Amino acid sequence: MRLPSLLKEVWSNLFKKPVTVKYPFKRLPVSPIYRGKHEILRDRCTGCGLCAKICPAFAITMETIGDKVFPIIDLGKCIFCYQCEDVCPRGAIRRGKDFELASWSRGDLILR
């Protein structure tokens, strides 16, 4: 019987480093344009509400804080499409790299 041609690759893989990483101890780098947790820059925001209007997941609501109106993002609803970043005329919403968003309560997922 002929040996399967994959056997050579299997043998060489025995002496290679594993492809996977031990996740909680080592994290793979994310792309520079990765779409993670948002950063809302309050000083740039004018409170126009375009982001709340366009959001495909209805995750953004406008809330009055002090004497101004700011967007509140519910990360539980967010689909991370970043249409809000595209539509913002002042660049007040920025891409963050944080992807570990699990939480014990839903209230923690609301980004103010």
CB of 42 to other proteins, least distance (A): 24
String of b and e for 33-62 (b: at least 16 CB within 10 Å)? eebebbebeeeebeebebbbeebeeebbeb
33 binds other proteins (CB under 8 A): yes
CB of 37 to other proteins, least distance (A): 13
Question: 62 or 87, CB closer to other proteins?
Answer: 87
107 binds other proteins (CB under 8 A): no
CB of 19 to other proteins, least distance (A): 5
Question: 11 or 25, CB closer to other proteins?
Answer: 11
91 binds other proteins (CB under 8 A): no
Residues that bind other proteins (CB under 8 A): 2, 4-6, 9-10, 19, 30-31, 33-35, 54-57, 79-83, 86, 95
